[in-house]
Structure 1
């Protein structure tokens, strides 16, 4: 919350980028994957994800190059330097609006999962408020404690998802991926766009960079984290297509749960593996909400020169919570999610790349 940049000796090692990025990027995709990708590319969605991974990895590399030019500044601090104050301010406001919409979507998804899976008889506002209160407590402590918390959570997210990836291999039917490129390359490329739009989170690098030592050495950690999340999405999508089929997947609200409950492993004493998604979902949804709520609050305080106040954090948090609670039904949320997928690519990926290009052209920041 307008947090002071720590001294160099108190900053985190770039290895901490791995849990930060994984737990930021992996969120509701654990349950739904990128349904927009499957809708666009159909049985070739697995190929769309691989192409999207290559493009996304290159852009993440450029993000590190951008942060290395401004190692002691967050993204909002050097946007006005690169773009000029008026345009930089407008871009910052655009990010704030995007985060409000994104947080509203994630809060609604937590509400939906609680209603359908965990607490169907409980009024939806109760778990929503409990989620929000615990998040306020966490993000009020600052970014470094949040990242430390993510480091503790990472094994509990990654291990169940890796186990599921292995279990999926027993039930996937290869014929459901044929014929390859039936509709040509264009749907695959559209699917790749959806992949990039669905995996929000790499932009967190731009805001967290000042809290890390020698951020320019964080290329390997960042690429590793990004591609681990892509692997989770790829394995889940392959399983969904190979087990459910494209048509059933598109009609399903929570295909992740449906796929896991259909997995059969001969001789294994457990018949239903749906619980393997419960813990990763809780961790992923909570961590994504935590980091984006932190960004929304701290960036609002920084942009409008506000002092950190707990009551302001409550008010800021209440905005996406209220929007999520007032969404009429799942159809409205699906439209919101689709719009977010479309606008995420220019906001999350293209604007930072354009900022890097402009910084190089205008010779802003460090050049070595």
Structure 2
């Protein structure tokens, strides 16, 4: 496998489109329920946990792009192959592929659960999954540019959702945020650790980077995109703590949906139905990006046909989603994926970046010594 990869020009994108790509891959269905898990640990200091996790994400992203800049045009699959060799590098690449598959299943199953609970309780899982699968396959065959186009539309959905949530400002009780730092530092850091799964997604820059034309602008647009996503999560967390009582927020499974229920329009008294429907675009994009990452991995390592791999991945994810029943199984999968995200999105990219920078520096020094000796 070649370390460097050079996609054709008709598949390349401008760096500013990374803003929409990272926002979409970072913000998914987790935005409707993350508050409960963070508040359960950090209480009304949950927003501090979110802030700490956001700062860590910016630091890791900075290291990742520094690493990518050292390579001319490489992705995570090529970098691991270069640093760890054929066998260990391939093993690490397979771990990422399995993780992306589990994330796809979790996103799909979570959205099916939301539809069945909030909109159509009697609708069969296989029907919802079939509709999602058809749309994902159709869009996936369009390539990277179609995925980026869906991300651009998805950003509009994100903005609309956040604007709707701001309506709770008039009902918020800001004293519920006080006193600050009442929770001990251990609980705040535990909350930040739990938040890492929700913030995961920015590491996909390691896959899309070779497709960027003006790579010198990748750092700016990626960090700005991550900042936007982090601010959205922070705002929603603060609004949730100020709007709900402690008992309400701990009991609520989907706090964001409950916030939207206070909005009523002449044409619709159940705004959450509209939000759930338009968020299908976000779900499709999230699953599609993960499925594309898997197909890209097979293409890079074994030169398999990406469309065939994409089709196979969606069929596997759809089958597992239909077979998975019960809230406990979904929560269990969420726990495992959350732990994997903390490692593969934060800890491992951090270590990989440091290893790459050290190894490349040593190689450059050795090459310089050999060049000096030869002269």
With the length of structure 2 as denominator, give the TM-score of the two structures.
Answer: 0.88
Match runs of 1:73-222 below 5 Å = 73-155=74-156, 157-222=157-222
**Which ranges of structure 1 fall in alignment gaps of 5 or more residues?**
none
For 1:96 and 1:35, how far apart are their aligned partners in 2?
A: 29
Q: Give per-residue Cα distances to partners, 1:145-175, cap 9 Å, x unaligned.
A: 21133224422x2331341243121121123
Preserved contact between residue 12 and residue 213 of structure 1 (Cα < 8 Å): yes
Deviation at 1:41, TM superposition (A): 0.8
| Matching of residue 351 in structure 1 with residue 348 in structure 2 | yes
Q: Summarize the Cα distance change of 1:179–1:143 in structure 2 as closer, same or farther, 3 Å threshold.
A: same
Deviation at 1:291, TM superposition (A): 0.7
| Matching of residue 339 in structure 1 with residue 336 in structure 2 | yes
Q: Give per-residue Cα distances to partners, 1:203-242, cap 9 Å, x unaligned.
A: 1100000110232321221111112111221222222222
Q: Give per-residue Cα distances to partners, 1:88-139, cap 9 Å, x unaligned.
A: 1111111111111111111111111121223333222111111011101111
Q: Give per-residue Cα distances to partners, 1:173-205, cap 9 Å, x unaligned.
A: 123223322231111111111112222211110
Greater percentage in helix: 2
Higher mean C-alpha displacement, 316-325 vs 124-133: 316-325
| Matching of residue 322 in structure 1 with residue 319 in structure 2 | yes
Q: Summarize the Cα distance change of 1:57–1:323 in structure 2 as closer, same or farther, 3 Å threshold.
A: same
Q: Matched residue of 1:289: which SS?
A: helix
Match runs of 1:242-261 below 5 Å = 242-261=242-261
For 1:240 and 1:207, how far apart are their aligned partners in 2?
A: 34
For 2:243 and 2:363, how far apart are their aligned partners in 1?
A: 51
Match of 1:283 in 2: 281
Match of 1:43 in 2: 44
Deviation at 1:339, TM superposition (A): 2.2
Q: Matched residue of 2:171: which SS?
A: coil
Q: How big is the alpha-carbon RMSD for the aligned residues of Structure 1 and Structure 2? A: 2.6
How many residue pairs get matched? 361
4+ residue runs of structure 1 moved beyond 4 angstroms?
7-10, 268-273, 364-367
For 2:340 and 2:112, how far apart are their aligned partners in 1?
A: 24
With the length of structure 1 as denominator, give the TM-score of the two structures.
Answer: 0.89
For 2:176 and 2:277, how far apart are their aligned partners in 1?
A: 29
